[in-house]
């Protein structure tokens, strides 16, 4: 499970693209706060202990080490592109290929973004 100082970013996920040109971001920090931004509107919320543990467990999944740095279908149009930065890595996906450990992390982070 990753450890971090209070203000350290554990993971940043940026979501962009799609037909509407969406630009959203979620940042989980070591103090359990989550900062979200959606087209410039920013909000900071706090995770519960259970939510924080779940996110840290997903981040600590050893199977994430096997996820390639890029999984993008260059022939697909209007897919959202997810850029995740964690543990010194940057991973980019449009979710066109199943990557279960990454998909679980994206799904958990996506719940924090405004609908």
Q: 88: number of CA atoms within 13 Å, CB side?
A: 3
Instruction: Flag whether 1 is in a domain.
Output: no
* pLDDT tens sequence across 61-109: 999 999 999 999 888 777 889 999 999 999 999 999 999 999 999 999 9
Longest dimension (CA), the chain: 41
Kindly report the pTM of this predicted structure: 0.89
Residue 2 domain-assigned (yes or no) = no
The burial class, CB within 10 Å (0-12 / 13-18 / 19+), for 58 is buried
Q: Tell me the C-alpha distance between 73 and 107, whole Å.
A: 20
- In-domain check, residue 3: no
Count up the domains in the chain and report the number.
1
Range of 38's domain? 9-110
């Amino acid at each position: 499970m990753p450890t971090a100082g209070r203000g350290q970013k554990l993971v940043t996920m940026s979501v962009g693209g799609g037909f509407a040109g969406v630009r959203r971001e979620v940042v989980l920090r070591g103090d359990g706060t989550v900062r979200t931004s959606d087209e410039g509107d920013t909000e900071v919320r706090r995770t519960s202990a259970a939510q924080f543990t779940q996110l840290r467990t997903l981040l600590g999944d050893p199977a994430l080490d096997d996820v390639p740095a890029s999984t993008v279908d260059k022939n697909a149009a209007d897919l959202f592109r997810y850029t995740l930065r964690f543990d010194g890595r940057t991973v980019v996906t449009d979710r066109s290929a199943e990557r279960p450990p990454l998909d679980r992390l994206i799904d958990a982070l996506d719940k924090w973004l405004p609908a």
